[in-house]
Amino acid sequence: MIPKVIPDIENVTQTAYPITPATIEKSGTAPIEKITPYKTIAQNKYSLTNTLKTQDAKRDLIFALDPVSFAAHVVDFDLDTWQVRALRSPAKRQIFNCTRQAGKSTTAAIKALHRAIYFPRSLVLLVSPSLRQSSELFRKVTDLTDHLPTSPRLTEDNRLSLTMQNGSRIVSLPGKEETIRGYSGASLIIEDEASRVPDDLYRAVRPMLAVSRGQLILMSTPFGKRGHFHDEWTNEEPAWERIMIPASACPRITPEFLEEERRSMGDWWYRQEYECQFVQTVDTVFDYEMVMSAVSDEVKPLFAGVEK
């Protein structure tokens, strides 16, 4: 766990966040001219130059450049190291294989809100396996806005989406492939509980990033050796930044609790839920290793090229 970093706004140029090109690059955000300070968006009454003279504006500029400083004001706890990494990393593809209760949904909500506020006209898509989960995740986003020093002006606010005055939108989608068609140019897509999001939805999502060159983040506890979450975790494609957070690395989960879980839920369940392991699904006839050992790249498929 790293300490919460709230820079001294009086001496912003001497803090850990001097605003230099290197800082901007490190924080994983866009070049400075592409970022609109929050106050400017929220109240629309300062020019950037004027705003820079105020304490609020310095804070906003820090928030814009560093999602972790922003997070320090919207949640009342210190972020874990992996959450810091998730928020700051400039990687275009990230995959987090996490224990239950690691803080996945919270991190997704912070990331979404930061992007929408500081990058005008961003489309942020939050994808969850079910309507219930997408409603819950969206509620996390709206709860966070209550903690902002100034709430972003919304032009629209539905149960599952909000549009800000700066033109950014956050849309929380349940895991049905049809729901995602019709959106284009997403600058950030986060799949929460990705191991349970259907693969056809994932296939529909990916082309959206082609033009926008947006960021794609998958966060999940494993769910058997199947599906796109398992594939992306294991396929060694170098584009992905892969991070594993087992329960033993989560400071809020005690060894006593884990021992009790192992006893009552059984080893198979425990390894999946708390140790981030892609264990064989209980209902399969042939296990994964057996199937893979029967497959060879060297044999030409009998019906290759035959259309259905």
Count other Cβ atoms within 10 Å, centred on residue 121: 12
Q: Which residues contact 4 (CB under 8 A, 6 or more apart)?
A: 72, 77, 78, 79
Element (H or E) spanning 127, and its range? strand 123-128
Query: From Mg ion, ligand ATP, none, which one binds at residue 153 (CB under 5 to 8 Å depending on kind)?
Result: none
Distance between CA atoms of residues 272 and 307, nearest Å: 38
Distance between CA atoms of residues 154 and 94, nearest Å: 29
- CB of 2: closest distance to Mg ion in angstroms? 22
- CB of 220: closest distance to ligand ATP in angstroms? 9
By CB under 5 A, which span of 23-31, 60-68, 96-104, 112-120 interacts with Mg ion? 96-104
- CB of 220: closest distance to Mg ion in angstroms? 9
Query: From Mg ion, ligand ATP, none, which one binds at residue 212 (CB under 5 to 8 Å depending on kind)?
Result: none
Which amino acid type is present at position 123? L
CB nearer Mg ion, residue 46 or residue 274: 274
CB nearer ligand ATP, residue 102 or residue 117: 102
Q: Are 170 and 196 in contact (CB under 8 A)?
A: no
CB nearer ligand ATP, residue 82 or residue 119: 82
Q: What is the DSSP string of 3-59?
A: ------GGGGGGSS---SHHHHHHHT---GGG---HHHHHH----HHHHTTSHHHHH
CB nearer Mg ion, residue 59 or residue 111: 111
> Which residue of this chain has its Cβ atom nearest to ligand ATP in the complex?
103
Q: Which residues contact 86 (CB under 8 A, 6 or more apart)?
A: 94, 96, 107, 111, 217, 219, 243
CB nearer Mg ion, residue 36 or residue 133: 133
Distance between CA atoms of residues 142 and 99, nearest Å: 24
Provide φ and ψ at 2, rounded to 5°: -105, 155
Query: From Mg ion, ligand ATP, none, which one binds at residue 103 (CB under 5 to 8 Å depending on kind)?
Result: ligand ATP
Task: Summarize as ranges the residues that interact with ligand ATP (CB under 6 A).
Answer: 77, 79-80, 83, 98, 100-106, 221, 252
Query: From Mg ion, ligand ATP, none, which one binds at residue 215 (CB under 5 to 8 Å depending on kind)?
Result: none
Query: From ligand ATP, Mg ion, none, which one binds at residue 106 (CB under 5 to 8 Å depending on kind)?
Result: ligand ATP
CB nearer ligand ATP, residue 80 or residue 191: 80
- Of these, 105, 168, 195, 215, which contacts Mg ion (CB under 5 A)? 105
Q: Does residue number 128 form part of the binding site for Mg ion (CB under 5 A)?
A: no
Where on the chain is the footprint of Mg ion (CB under 5 A)? 104-105
